Chains A and B, each alone.
Chain A
Amino acid sequence: MDLNPSQGENYANPKICFFHVLFKAGALAFYILSALFFDSFVIIFVVTVLLSALDFWVVKNVSGRILVGLRWWNEIDDNGESVWKFECLDQESLARMNKKDSWLFWWTLYLTAVVWIFFGIFSLIRFQADYLLVVGVCLTLSIANIVGFTKCRKDAKKQIQQFASQTIANRFSSTIQSAFSVV
């Protein structure tokens, strides 16, 4: 993973990046600051979990598709078995993806989960079961997205390798064929 995105290249989808970060940051900020303004735990819970759920949806359906060209979902087939499906754009489009976009995508994804874990430990130490519940829900949503997209990316890489090896195999066989035809 690049530690520094390539310079001189701007975000290709600034609005999407903005929304990708907005709900994550909103959930975290609300969680931290709400204790100062709101007495009622209910509001804190509902708003934080709502923002987290919104973020989950946005990442899964919008920014995953647009920033990194990946998508994952679950289907139930005819036999009643649950099947996890992963989908990615083809190689050209993947190569065309903006590096800064995907850098932002992956880093914020991992970072949010780490911050939620940190908050969870914090509330565990303070024996606050309610806040632990909130953190638990938000953490579950973050981790679900991380696992889904990481698996999706691995599948995409496998596919790239398959394509590459097929390219090599095809070129090889075509050169051999042309060699034989000449002979």
Chain B
Amino acid sequence: MSYSERDTVPLNQSSQSDIDEIENLINYTVQSGPATVLPARPPSPPRASIPVSSSPFLPSNLPPPPQKPPSVPAASPPPSTNGQQQSNMTGFGSPPNTLTEPVWDTVKRDLSRIVSNLKLVVIPNPFREDPGKALRDWDLWGPFFFIVFLGLILSWSASVKKSEVFAVAFALLATGAIILTLNVLLLGGHIIFFQSLSLLGYCLFPLDIGALICMLKDNVILKIVVVCLTLAWSSWAAYPFISMAVNPRRKALALYPVMLMYVSVGFLIIAID
């Protein structure tokens, strides 16, 4: 592989200083515009000391750390373009930080992103008016944990065939989310694949709560009531994102399968004994 070529590139004294010069030039000129591949210069100690923390998780998409809290991308369009530009500029300035930041910072950043995404999706807030921008910072960790959690609860509530229940619940939810996303895309909708997956996973959160309550209290009437409430909450959470993404005449076509999937999950929760 050409990996070895890179290893053997010699850097003698004069070319090293030339490279420094060039990088300074580039650093000054590029600040006027972002580049897709960002050369990052680490801060003066070339290796930051890394406190290694082994906390789990996260399929990452990690944008350069926003200087403001993550809800900024969901602001109304004029401020957001400025905000985006500023974060591009500061993004270029701060890649050294994301490449050499301590591990703990990364963990905290990812965790706070999950919480903020969750709040954006399931709690009423003004940013829901503009769904395209609301879930700009998609991540798949939240959905992953919610799906696994739901599968575990369903499996725990089942008295027989626990393994099958879990496998079925997980596979159903995962493939269901993928197929629903494809459905929206094929209807000519404008949504990013991972954004939609992320959204559908986060909207599962109310059903998770419902399943937890149903597991703890075994009354059928209570189960039905709780499941209906949480189902309504999930659907309300998912509605603006999906409906905004497609042509208004095809809203029902896109929404119906989503409702169907959540209703079937609700039935699973009620019917599990």
Residues of chain A touching chain B, judged by Cβ–Cβ distance below 8 Å, are 1-2, 12-13, 15-16, 19, 40-42, 45-46, 49-50, 53-54, 56-58, 60-62, 65-66, 69, 71, 73-78, 80-83, 85-96, 99, 106, 129-130, 133, 141, 144, 155-160, 163-164, 166-167, 170-171
A89 and B50 form a contact (CB under 8 A): no
Q: Is B155 an interface residue (CB 8 A)?
A: yes
Give a binary string over B38-60; 1 marks a CB under 8 Å from any A CB, 0 the rest.
11111000110010101011111
B166 contact from A2, A42, A53, A69, Cβ within 8 A:
A42
A61 and B106 form a contact (CB under 8 A): yes
A159 and B1 form a contact (CB under 8 A): no
B4 and A2 form a contact (CB under 8 A): yes
Task: Tell me, in angstroms, the Cα distance from A122 to B145 when the chains sit together.
Answer: 28
A71-B62, A85-B36, A157-B6 known; A42+B152 contact, CB < 8 A: yes
A19 and B54 form a contact (CB under 8 A): yes
Q: Is B221 an interface residue (CB 8 A)?
A: no
Q: Is B28 an interface residue (CB 8 A)?
A: no
Q: Is B183 an interface residue (CB 8 A)?
A: no
A56-B59, A82-B192, A87-B95 known; A155+B167 contact, CB < 8 A: no
Contacting residues, chain A, for B47 (C-beta < 8 A): 12, 66
CB distance from B107 to the nearest CB of A (A): 8
The 9 closest A-B pairs by CB, nearest first: A41-B163, A74-B61, A1-B3, A1-B1, A73-B61, A42-B166, A73-B62, A54-B56, A155-B37
A16-B50, A62-B103 known; A156+B62 contact, CB < 8 A: no
B60 contact from A73, A99, A130, Cβ within 8 A:
A73
A-contacting residues, B58-110, CB 8 Å? 58-63, 80-81, 84, 95, 98-100, 103, 106, 110
A93 contact from B42, B152, B155, B163, Cβ within 8 A:
B42
Q: A15-B50, A46-B152, A88-B37 are in contact. List 19 more A-B contacts (CB 8 A).
A: A2-B4, A40-B162, A42-B166, A45-B167, A45-B170, A54-B57, A56-B59, A61-B58, A62-B50, A76-B192, A85-B37, A85-B38, A89-B42, A89-B99, A91-B39, A95-B11, A163-B22, A166-B22, A167-B19
B2 and A65 form a contact (CB under 8 A): no
B103 contact from A61, A88, A141, A156, Cβ within 8 A:
A61
- The CB with the most chain A CB atoms within 10 A, among B6, B63, B81, B171, is that of B6
Task: Tell me, in angstroms, the Cα distance from A156 to B41 when the chains sit together.
Answer: 14
A92 and B11 form a contact (CB under 8 A): yes
A80 and B192 form a contact (CB under 8 A): yes
Q: Is B266 an interface residue (CB 8 A)?
A: no
Residues of chain B touching chain A, judged by Cβ–Cβ distance below 8 Å, are 1-4, 6-7, 9, 11, 15-16, 18-23, 36-42, 46-47, 50, 52, 54, 56-63, 80-81, 84, 95, 98-100, 103, 106, 110, 132, 136, 138, 141, 144, 148, 151-152, 155, 162-163, 166-167, 170-171, 190, 192-195
A87 and B4 form a contact (CB under 8 A): no
CB distance from B158 to the nearest CB of A (A): 10
B99 contact from A77, A87, A157, Cβ within 8 A:
A87
Task: Tell me, in angstroms, the Cα distance from A144 to B59 when the chains sit together.
Answer: 10
Could you jot down 6 A-B contacts, CB within 8 Å?
A61-B58, A61-B110, A71-B99, A73-B62, A90-B23, A156-B37
A56-B59, A66-B50 known; A71+B163 contact, CB < 8 A: no
CB distance from B215 to the nearest CB of A (A): 15
A76 and B136 form a contact (CB under 8 A): yes
Contacting residues, chain A, for B41 (C-beta < 8 A): 89-90, 93
A40 and B84 form a contact (CB under 8 A): no
- Give the nearest-CB partner of A81 in chain B: B192
